[in-house]
Structure 1
């Protein structure tokens, strides 16, 4: 028993508070709901553009036809197409419904952004991050896009969140959980696997400070487990890369500025994010998490640039879209730390307001596709007769416009036209595009009337950039009776002369 002259033992200091291990209260919920509201507002107004039309066309096929196509083209989008196929079979294929999965993915990402901010910083930063992410123009741009990119952002952000949890308390279950979004990220878009590079650097930095070798082993096993199911897709996708992304040019250093502007769908917002994202590096408090987020944002971009110096280029903004949450978190951390606090609030409001003009444009009919497929389809619908034929602009250098998909999407189901110059349908060819007749004149058959759709202005010839042999066959046997110009397209009705 201690005597009166003895001093009591020193109090044991409380352990340092570890960041929350679960989603923090309602903050993640309002961020998700706000993002969902922003991305679904007038989501059906912009016309589908060619990449979205490819998604619709693929998802509209039956499962066997879709799998057959993926063996020849677009295998890297296969998982997304299969998911979208199931989605449209339940909810339909309107513009809004085609885009809703992307809106839901961005909403879920917003929740994870708030959770990561609470883990690495504090509640004020989490609130700023939730607001900023929800109102970035690029979140609207790809939250209203019938492509896989929003789902990739969700998978990569989930991988980061689960990595942080595993680093807090390493264990087999947490590293196994980490492997799941890594695999999904790679299956949805292979370039997103570059997120493993900054993740590995973060693990090494944490190991350097803690010297816990099991952490490195756990990460290596988790990453390997996530990569394993992606390997077959990597091999197949590599064989298809020339056809699908051969148009992407090898980048130069000056192209980094353009990529940055497009990465935020707004040059002004991109400039504002760049300025505020560097602020957390200027003070000691929060510097470590800021460095980790900077790695997640910058390393994949640098890696894509370097890899694209080879035979195949991947240097395009949407391929590194998964880095946006990290940049938003950095910017939010910088703004939230500004003193006095009203200055940070005002700066956040200013950064959001910079994107308002872009937000408004993203909800216009021409936000994605300038050619008016709706109006062109309406012209055909008004003058259609059973037995009419159809000739869209689909030459070797023009088919990427997907004019045929554009018209077919907007036509009512009751209208069935024979695609005159098609020898084998895309489904029969296990391809995205049909095989056209080598000798167009022999494919005309006895079709009495043909709807010809080409791209161009009101001054352009009705035959536009139609392949020369197809144009010659039509001119020899048909005459143009009406020709209507709508925005970006010319719709002509041809009637047989002999």
Structure 2
């Protein structure tokens, strides 16, 4: 199969950018399946709390109000994402899919960028296909349809990696200059969408440092491009300083979250099927070579080998990034370890899977390609055949309780979701600030309370006024909230549980029971 305008690569020849009919067919087919798979999620999934923060920031009546909410509110991202989303929503309206459209496009750009990268450094059609599909079928594919800046950040990072690959002495000087410019500008743009893109950029610094040590040549223009994002970080530093004064929502950090992160990344059914396919074919390929005394040339020769710096980058992104971040958080006593901060690790996984597939004979590589298309098509078509209707949040935890006139106290996550989608239909559902609320600053104009500056945001109950007015109320305790102190206090006073689900415990609380 020709690669971007060139025949299959020959030793010593570096393919250059150009698009062939085969590439067009691959990209068009993937895009159609991508739209079915990701588009369905973007249309049907209800907003969760972080996306509602995006909603409140973007729908502020004035840009001054938006800026104030960025400085004081619960979100801690650069402003460019919100400005872009505000523009998109202004054009397409305030639907779930419109808020998620920037992420959908950004993540699609990541997949296409990795396809280009896979075809260039892997130099076979199957390595290109592996690079195209891996980000979508793993757990990180969830963020292809979330109204947050991660999809855009990853898309820019992907283009930056392609630019980095084209800074090659084998390319004409004009191409190299364009690649350096592309590297610096796209990484700077990625920083303008999310501050923590500094983590994968730091991995690129390590790889370039390794290349410098190996070749004994310092590429000053490349180092300048890799440093360009720091200018964006410096520009946003005053805003970041204000945002960093807010307490982080997560209250504890466990070492086991590191293994949980890796399992989250590979555990979707599509991801497990995809990785199992590659592993099984790789084992069959290896056993087949050992069993043949006189293999043919096609069977004996691997289809491609990944350049050492890209293999090194794969290990750094997949292993060094999550492990290093966990160690840093533990050493500094911070708790900022969540899967969404480590999404670039999927690029490392992609590079390492490309390496494995690159060692296969052409015959077995074709079997991997057929399997990948089968998995992707089956999942995308099955998803696309489901109803394209918004699935509203479940209300069984707050509905049909023994006393319908009794207030139902819920955490801020459930409260914002229910009030956004049901509003006055659930008048007894309340959130009392300070109860079932993540750590917040004492200043009443900052943190979660700052979203009250948006007239569309639901109101929170004042704790003193609420407790004076209500001697009895229900408490909906989410098992994922992990506020064990509250649960232990309720159990100590033998507060009765009136309903239990897989996710919640509903307590019937009376002040008289604990006095």
> Normalized against structure 2, the TM-score is what?
0.66
How far residue 285 of structure 1 moved from its aligned partner, in angstroms, is 3.1
Report 1:373-452 matches (<5 A). Answer: 393=409, 398-399=411-412, 401-403=413-415, 405-411=416-422, 426=450, 429=453, 436-437=461-462, 439-440=464-465
**Are 1:325 and 2:347 counterparts?**
yes
**Are 1:262 and 2:267 counterparts?**
no
In the alignment, the residues of structure 2 paired with residue 443 and residue 355 of structure 1 have an alpha-carbon distance, to the nearest angstrom, of 58
Structure 1 pair 176–44 and aligned structure 2 pair: CA distance change class (3 A)? same
How far residue 228 of structure 1 moved from its aligned partner, in angstroms, is 0.8
Work out which of the residue numbers 11, 15, 19 in structure 1 matches 2:15: 19
In the alignment, the residues of structure 2 paired with residue 402 and residue 243 of structure 1 have an alpha-carbon distance, to the nearest angstrom, of 22
Report 1:25-104 matches (<5 A). Answer: 25-26=23-24, 27-62=26-61, 63-73=63-73, 74-104=75-105
Contact between 1:59 and 1:84, CA under 8 Å: does it hold in 2?
A: yes
How far residue 105 of structure 1 moved from its aligned partner, in angstroms, is 1.6
In the alignment, the residues of structure 1 paired with residue 264 and residue 30 of structure 2 have an alpha-carbon distance, to the nearest angstrom, of 24
In the alignment, the residues of structure 2 paired with residue 438 and residue 184 of structure 1 have an alpha-carbon distance, to the nearest angstrom, of 43
How far residue 211 of structure 1 moved from its aligned partner, in angstroms, is 3.8
Deviations 1:313-337 (A, max 9, x none): 3322111112213312431442353
**Are 1:195 and 2:200 counterparts?**
yes
Contact between 1:44 and 1:95, CA under 8 Å: does it hold in 2?
A: yes
Q: Which structure has the greater CA radius of gyration?
A: 1
**Mean Cα displacement is larger for which, 294-303 or 217-226?**
294-303
Which position in structure 1 is the counterpart of 2:158? 157
Contact between 1:46 and 1:369, CA under 8 Å: does it hold in 2?
A: yes
How far residue 218 of structure 1 moved from its aligned partner, in angstroms, is 1.3
Report 1:205-354 matches (<5 A). Answer: 205-213=210-218, 215=219, 217-234=220-237, 236-237=239-240, 240-241=243-244, 243=246, 245-247=248-250, 249-252=252-255, 254-266=256-268, 269=271, 273=275, 285-288=305-308, 289-309=310-330, 310-339=332-361, 341-342=363-364, 345-346=367-368, 349=371, 353=375
Structure 1 pair 347–222 and aligned structure 2 pair: CA distance change class (3 A)? closer
The unaligned stretches of length 5 or more in structure 2 are 1-9, 287-301, 434-443, 479-485, 487-500, 507-515
Which position in structure 1 is the counterpart of 2:112? 111
How far residue 188 of structure 1 moved from its aligned partner, in angstroms, is 2.0
In the alignment, the residues of structure 1 paired with residue 86 and residue 474 of structure 2 have an alpha-carbon distance, to the nearest angstrom, of 28
In the alignment, the residues of structure 2 paired with residue 99 and residue 113 of structure 1 have an alpha-carbon distance, to the nearest angstrom, of 21
Provide the secondary structure at the position in 2 that maps to 1:76.
Answer: coil
**Mean Cα displacement is larger for which, 298-307 or 191-200?**
298-307
How far residue 348 of structure 1 moved from its aligned partner, in angstroms, is 7.0
In the alignment, the residues of structure 2 paired with residue 307 and residue 369 of structure 1 have an alpha-carbon distance, to the nearest angstrom, of 39
**Mean Cα displacement is larger for which, 124-133 or 303-312?**
124-133
> Normalized against structure 1, the TM-score is what?
0.68
In the alignment, the residues of structure 1 paired with residue 279 and residue 261 of structure 2 have an alpha-carbon distance, to the nearest angstrom, of 17
Contact between 2:103 and 2:147, CA under 8 Å: does it hold in 1?
A: yes
Contact between 1:141 and 1:362, CA under 8 Å: does it hold in 2?
A: no
**Mean Cα displacement is larger for which, 290-299 or 190-199?**
290-299
Contact between 1:112 and 1:157, CA under 8 Å: does it hold in 2?
A: yes
**Mean Cα displacement is larger for which, 90-99 or 150-159?**
90-99
How far residue 135 of structure 1 moved from its aligned partner, in angstroms, is 4.7
**Are 1:128 and 2:139 counterparts?**
no
In the alignment, the residues of structure 2 paired with residue 333 and residue 352 of structure 1 have an alpha-carbon distance, to the nearest angstrom, of 21
Contact between 1:272 and 1:351, CA under 8 Å: does it hold in 2?
A: no
Compute the RMSD of aligned alpha carbons.
5.0
In the alignment, the residues of structure 2 paired with residue 195 and residue 438 of structure 1 have an alpha-carbon distance, to the nearest angstrom, of 43
Which position in structure 2 is the counterpart of 1:478? none
In the alignment, the residues of structure 2 paired with residue 453 and residue 369 of structure 1 have an alpha-carbon distance, to the nearest angstrom, of 26
How far residue 353 of structure 1 moved from its aligned partner, in angstroms, is 4.7
Structure 1 pair 183–131 and aligned structure 2 pair: CA distance change class (3 A)? closer
In the alignment, the residues of structure 2 paired with residue 99 and residue 354 of structure 1 have an alpha-carbon distance, to the nearest angstrom, of 22
How far residue 39 of structure 1 moved from its aligned partner, in angstroms, is 0.8
Contact between 1:337 and 1:344, CA under 8 Å: does it hold in 2?
A: no
Contact between 1:35 and 1:110, CA under 8 Å: does it hold in 2?
A: no
**Matched positions, count:** 427
In the alignment, the residues of structure 2 paired with residue 241 and residue 360 of structure 1 have an alpha-carbon distance, to the nearest angstrom, of 43
In the alignment, the residues of structure 2 paired with residue 439 and residue 413 of structure 1 have an alpha-carbon distance, to the nearest angstrom, of 23
